[in-house]
Structure 1
Amino acid sequence: MNLIIEAEDLVAELEHEELLIVDLSSSQNYLSGHIPGALHLPFHVLMAGTPPAPGKLPDLDQLTHIFRSIGLRPETHVVACDDEGGGWAGRFLWTLEVIGHRNYSYLNGGMRAWRGAGLPLTTEEPQITPSNIEVSIDTASTMDAEQIQAQLDNPNFTVWDARSPQEYSGERVLAMKGGHIPGAINCEWTQLMDPQRDLRIRTDAREFLAELGIDDKHRVVTHCQSHHRSGFTWLVGKSLGFDICAYPGSWSEWGNLPDTPVKQ
């Protein structure tokens, strides 16, 4: 199964016994109708939730509990979706990457695309058999503030800031300091969604990003305020074959550290 899967193609896979569909929509939207067999995972469990950087990973015990409770096994192929265009689904798939589970796909456009195609919905919740999977952390898909600072003068390194232009410029301040990481390129996450195609990833994403200076010739790290919006930008970069990782501390950490450089 491809990393990016279309709704019509997922229908043919619904009866596959190794398939696990994880819906990170709001509870209300999930309960009003979801893909048959999909389980609901509240998105807040993906974050540590501790200030000043709530977007950091939960600890290993919490991650182990999450993945055992949804029945994840090494042979499982996971398809993630949400109802907002890919932020929480991307964050979840990035978390799978972090624990070394790489059998996963994103439902392009999520539940917006599924509903838009008129595909089957159910209100029945699946019975989940917990697993005993062992979880460990692979840091290759993450960067921290110290690692980013060490790369800021590297011409082969790019920071993709997925926040709004107002946050990037410092007009809107959501930490002790406002502005952006020096050299960071701003491309708000929603710019990669096509509103005319039920929020699927825009078909010209590669060209659009290349014009901004974000491409497969650079090592890319992406962030937002708490690594929610940048869950989607990480996913887009991954789908384009970029050498991309994420900074889960994001601006809530960078903007509150005393020694991190900031540009406005």
Structure 2
Amino acid sequence: MSHPLLVDAAWLHEHLADPGIRVLDATTFLTQPEGDGYYDVESGRQAYEKAHIPGAAFADLLHDLADPDAATTFTALDSAAFAAKIGALGVGPDTHVVIYDQGPNVWATRLWWNLRYEGFDSVSVLNGGLPAWTAAGHETRTGTESYPAAEFVASRRPELLATQSDVLAAIDAPDTILVNSLDPDTFSGKRVTYARPGHIPSSVNIPFINLADANGFKSPEEVRPLFDSANTLDPTKKVITYCGSGIAATGLAFHLALLGRPNVAIYDGSLTEWSANPTLPLQTT
């Protein structure tokens, strides 16, 4: 049974008691000190415990669902480790996962991508997250909730991940489009957020902030011109998205899926990894 990629608060409220539904709160907080510099990252567990959608379990992207030994913060776990972690949250073959966060939806799309990367498609994102849920007048709960553990069987899709070598090769590949999802100042190098300023050569810039408004994600019809102008809807082109740590990049991949391009690759290390290697090219404009 297919499920919608994007659902609203009314849909989730109607289906919240369905036996196969697994609602996961993927809230994570990203803050940047005044001026330039790296972002600070904080788990959203405390925020989840203060208020969450009834029945929702907390999916900790920072501490549980990322490789603790990797050089970058949110690097995907290996398949077996991810399967164990996500299965413990109640996700199995007969479940439909609905993911939300308490912020800009990109934490929800990150977990959406994690699940798709491991071959799981029965997953939706709640548009607007918890703010949309509460704005609709629905109740929240405090504390911690959980689902019965399930057996998650991973079936990895390697085409959904781009490595550093893949990206380096893509710079001069006419059949591949590199898309940077960061703000224009970081893309151009005016703002120094990572070890070195700028963007990967040949990249186009589709800022994630242009894909959402105060109510959540804009409609596919509203954002289609942004993707059309970058030629990313051409089915003959491979698309690789990147950002700082592979989070906002999944927001672009999600929108492309809504527009009919589900197999976009994410450069997981993104600029955190790329800019730390002085031998790799960066371009400022």
TM-score with structure 2 length normalisation?
0.84
Q: Deviations over 1:153-206 (max 9, x none)?
A: 2333211111122221223334443211111111221211122xx223345011
The 3-state SS of whatever aligns with 2:202 is coil
Conserved 8 A contact 1:23-1:40: yes
Which of 20, 24, 29 is residue 47 of structure 2 equivalent to? 29
Instruction: Indicate the residue corresponding to 2:216 in structure 1.
Output: 199
The residue number in structure 2 matching 1:12 is 14
TM-score between the two structures when normalised by the length of structure 1: 0.90
Question: What is the SS of the residue equivalent to 1:131?
Answer: coil
For the 8 Å contact 1:158–1:214, the answer to whether it is kept is yes
The answer to whether the Cα contact below 8 Å between 1:86 and 1:231 also exists between their aligned partners in 2 is no
Aligned partner of 1:177 in structure 2 is 196
Give the Cα–Cα distance (whole angstroms) in 1 for the partners of residues 80 and 278 of structure 2.
30
Unaligned runs of 5+ in 2: 28-43
Aligned counterparts of 2:269 and 2:259: Cα–Cα separation in 1: 24
| Contact 1:220-1:245 within 8 A present in 2 as well | yes
The equivalent of 2:61 in structure 1 is: 43
Quick check: 1:24–1:40 contact (8 Å CA) kept in 2?
A: yes
Q: Which moved more, 1:149-158 or 1:159-168?
A: 149-158
The residue identity in structure 1 corresponding to 2:276 is: N
Helix, strand or coil at the partner of 2:15: coil
Q: How does 1:94-133 map to 2 (within 5 A)?
A: 94-123=113-142, 125-133=144-152
Deviation (angstroms), 1:222: 0.8
1:245 aligns with 2:245: no
Q: State, as a whole percentage, how many aligned pairs show the same letter.
A: 26
Q: In 1, Cα distance between the equivalents of 2:20 and 2:234? A: 32
Gaps of 5+ in 1: none
Deviation at 1:136, TM superposition (A): 4.4
CA distance in 2, matches of 1:76, 1:27: 23
Give the 5 Å matches for 1:196-235: 198-202=215-219, 204-217=222-235, 218-235=237-254
CA deviation vs aligned residue, 1:3-36 (integer Å, no higher than 9, x gap) = 1111111111111111101011223432232222
The reply to whether residue 71 of structure 1 matches residue 73 of structure 2 is no
In structure 2, relative to structure 1, the CA distance for the partners of 1:52 and 1:178 (3 Å cut) is: farther
Over the residues paired in the alignment, what is the CA RMSD in angstroms? 2.0
- Residue-pair matches, total: 262
Runs of 4+ in 1 over 4 A off after TM superposition: none
Indicate yes or no: 2:149 matched with 1:147.
no
* Cα distance in 2 for residues equivalent to 1:77 and 1:62: 21
